[in-house]
Structure 1
């Protein structure tokens, strides 16, 4: 299906032009533009994202994954607590998870202290939050399919004649 092809291309590289997508898929430029517009309008495409290797720019950013154990709320389950959490600007990503903890929250801040304060003063104070575990991210090796640390070398077996 053309829409799925377009979405896969844009997910890999959001800067791909409709003209290039048309060449890659065989669709018309007009059709490609309309599919993209419709996907933006119905929020199939939520936003375009740039992956930045912040270690190359500065170290003034701390990221942590916070695991949160909650008591599901009557009639809304996990959704109402998740909504309270994702409304905080510090919470960049919130997932409902299986396992010991119910929610995984990706948090960013300027310092470890700032992130810890968010957890203790905001997150832990929400009714229904039973416990949290904080994991500070020390180094990112790969994000969204892009290798950030080290070098990506071509792995070929040497041929000896």
Structure 2
């Protein structure tokens, strides 16, 4: 804003000196070209500051610029021990097409096949594990009871 005031003042002084010298036409040309240059510079600065502000706000909000590629979902490795709120523990071992789930001290294991991204179902479709993140998963029964058990990585 200060540069507009200074340029306008300089142009007015230039016009007044030129008018006294008798060259009024070129003085007005110089005045209008100076004003046009300042206006163009201010418009470019304003557009740049607005664009920069939008990009900074965009990145501060946690968003990223969209690319021309599609990100693949993260498939979590759930091998290891997972505990329930009741204190019971299940051990997960990777198999060729899913995981073998062994309840520690409570019977024999069951093979769960991968049916989707971070989604595993047993062979007779009685239950499904849904991996929410690397340290949390949910088991749901696939019957009328719709029993839900939360598991946490140990």
TM-score by length of 2: 0.23
| Structure ID, larger Rg | 2
Higher RCO (C-alpha 8 Å, min separation 6): 1
TM-score by length of 1: 0.22
